[in-house]
């Protein structure tokens, strides 16, 4: 480790010590979501199940609740739900990463845990340089930097980052999020036999390609994987215009389903579908775990979307990860389900096996709490209208006549309401995770998902209302804290 690296890591540790009591005292801190010990967290990085331990790294600015020269923070877990904070994995100490060890991924090779990430460099005038870098570890905790393995190819601007690496047959592949010199977002493929020499295979798709018209000026955090016989490309495009209920956030995250021909480096794919229809969801990353499941974490935030309005800033921290989710391909749609292990975090439960939800609205004894899971299912008939009010801060509304599902919330700095919506014909079930200042809604077993931050001012109380006095089952569990 260089002296500079040691020094930066020490400063980060001091920053954690300095503010940890303030972070701990925040009523909005989360019990069962990964959050930064201090400062700003953004993208999930290097998510891997390695030698019997789950590792999740994250983009981290320890010094401010704003973006800057990112570190890689690190959590590990034996069971995917209780997490332990580990030493900082990467600090931006070298010339090729001096303005940030940006996002990337992890692989297992030769008994080592190898990280590929983007070295971000900016000069005084704000001119950018980008380098794809490698770091390795034998114990999964301490990393040795191996330096730059890939420089910027011709035809792209320096917005070229977030390498995701995987193996196919006997070769390694890397997909990178890019911007062409014509300001078009692209996903760019490379191939390597030794993980050090990388051959450019070309942009496999992107804005203004043979399969897409205008589709954003930059693509971030691509992830390409095989699921149920299909090649799925997840990506976070920037610059999509809002249309109808779509693309309402500042930036989007979604996927294409198709087939990647590795011989010709061509990807035939269908249309883009947003992964999450709520307010805060970006830069998801996936991996396959010991049981063969395709798992996903995402950043529960969106770049430049009310980032300076979060009340947690007063307590020296901002942002969190989503809960871990398992991906399933159902027809031509990716379903997201909370991982099974999350049920291990359940403690006290309250169950209403057959409750009539009235048209006037009602609360239910015991259906409340700061960190809870809620399942509403077994409807005796299809509800025409169903609402849940959450602490006068958020509201969930299903309207069958309009085939519309809505999540409303109060803005972070005023009582004004904002909405996110998606088309939905029928409501069969709702699974809701509430964690002091977040909500994740899984509709009809993960057919649609809404993720958002909410900042209730009082106790977290829920009330229910339905259009036609509908009978259903409502269960609630308190959720344990995941921090050791």
Q: By the criterion CB under 6 A, which residues form the site for ligand FRU?
A: 42-43, 59, 70, 102-103, 118, 161-162, 220-221, 282-283, 303
Which one, 54 or 299, has the nearer CB to ligand FRU? 299
Closest approach of ligand FRU to the CB of residue 478, in Å: 32
Closest approach of ligand FRU to the CB of residue 70, in Å: 5
Closest approach of ligand FRU to the CB of residue 473, in Å: 39
Closest approach of ligand FRU to the CB of residue 295, in Å: 19
d(CA 278, CA 275): 9
Could you tell me if 137 and 143 are in contact, meaning their C-beta atoms sit under 8 angstroms apart?
yes
Which of 43, 49, 162, 223 is catalytic? The answer is 43
Which one, 103 or 466, has the nearer CB to ligand FRU? 103
Closest approach of ligand FRU to the CB of residue 146, in Å: 19
Active-site annotation holds for 43: yes
Give CA angle at 26 (475, 366), nearest 5°: 20
Q: Which two tokens stand for residue 311?
A: 């009340």
Which one, 303 or 311, has the nearer CB to ligand FRU? 303
Which one, 59 or 389, has the nearer CB to ligand FRU? 59
Per the listing, tokens 């209403």 go with 352
Which one, 42 or 406, has the nearer CB to ligand FRU? 42
Which one, 296 or 479, has the nearer CB to ligand FRU? 296
Closest approach of ligand FRU to the CB of residue 7, in Å: 21
Closest approach of ligand FRU to the CB of residue 344, in Å: 30
Which one, 174 or 427, has the nearer CB to ligand FRU? 174
Residues with catalytic roles: 43
């Amino acid at each position: 480790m260089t002296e500079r690296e040691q020094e930066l890591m020490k400063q980060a540790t001091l920053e954690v010590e300095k503010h940890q009591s303030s972070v701990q005292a925040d009523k909005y801190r989360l019990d069962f979501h990964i959050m930064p010990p201090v400062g700003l967290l953004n993208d999930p990085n290097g998510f891997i199940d390695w030698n019997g331990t789950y590792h999740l790294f994250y983009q981290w600015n320890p010094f401010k609740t704003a973006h800057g020269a990112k570190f890689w923070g690190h959590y590990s877990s034996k069971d995917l739900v209780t997490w332990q904070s580990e030493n900082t994995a990467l600090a931006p100490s070298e010339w090729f990463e001096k303005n940030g060890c940006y996002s990337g991924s992890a692989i297992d090779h030769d008994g080592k845990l190898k990280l590929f990430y983007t070295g971000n460099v900016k000069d005084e005038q704000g001119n950018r340089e980008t380098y794809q870098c490698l770091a390795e570890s034998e114990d999964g905790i301490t990393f040795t930097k191996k330096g730059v393995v890939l420089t910027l190819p011709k035809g792209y601007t320096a917005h070229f980052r977030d390498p995701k690496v995987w193996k196919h047959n006997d070769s390694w592949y890397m997909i990178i999020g890019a911007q062409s010199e014509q300001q078009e977002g692209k996903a760019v493929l490379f191939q390597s036999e030794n993980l050090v020499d990388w051959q450019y295979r070309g942009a496999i798709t992107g804005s203004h390609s043979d399969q897409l018209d205008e589709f954003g000026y930059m693509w971030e955090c691509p992830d390409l994987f095989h699921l149920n016989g299909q090649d799925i490309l997840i990506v976070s495009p920037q610059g999509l215009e809002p249309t109808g209920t779509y693309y309402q956030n500042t930036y989007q995250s979604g996927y294409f389903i198709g087939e990647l021909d590795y011989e010709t480096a061509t990807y035939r794919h269908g249309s883009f579908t947003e992964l999450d229809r709520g307010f805060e969801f970006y830069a998801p990353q996936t991996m396959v775990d010991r049981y063969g499941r395709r798992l996903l974490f995402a950043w529960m935030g969106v770049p430049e979307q009310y980032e300076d309005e979060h009340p947690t800033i007063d307590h020296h921290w901002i942002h969190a990860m989503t809960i871990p989710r398992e991906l399933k391909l159902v027809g031509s749609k990716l379903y997201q389900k909370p991982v099974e292990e999350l049920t291990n975090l359940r403690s006290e439960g309250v169950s209403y096996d057959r409750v009539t939800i009235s048209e006037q609205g009602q609360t239910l004894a015991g259906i409340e709490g700061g960190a809870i899971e809620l399942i509403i299912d077994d409807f005796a008939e299809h509800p025409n209208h169903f609402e849940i009010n959450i602490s006068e801060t958020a509201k969930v509304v299903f309207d069958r006549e309009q085939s519309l599902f809505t999540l409303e919330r109060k803005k972070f700095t005023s009582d004004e309401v904002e909405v996110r919506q998606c088309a939905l014909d029928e409501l069969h079930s709702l699974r809701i995770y509430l964690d002091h200042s977040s909500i994740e809604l899984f509709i009809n077993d993960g057919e649609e998902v809404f993720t958002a931050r909410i900042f209730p001012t009082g106790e977290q109380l829920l009330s229910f209302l339905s259009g036609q006095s509908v009978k259903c089952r409502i269960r609630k569990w308190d959720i344990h804290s995941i921090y050791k």
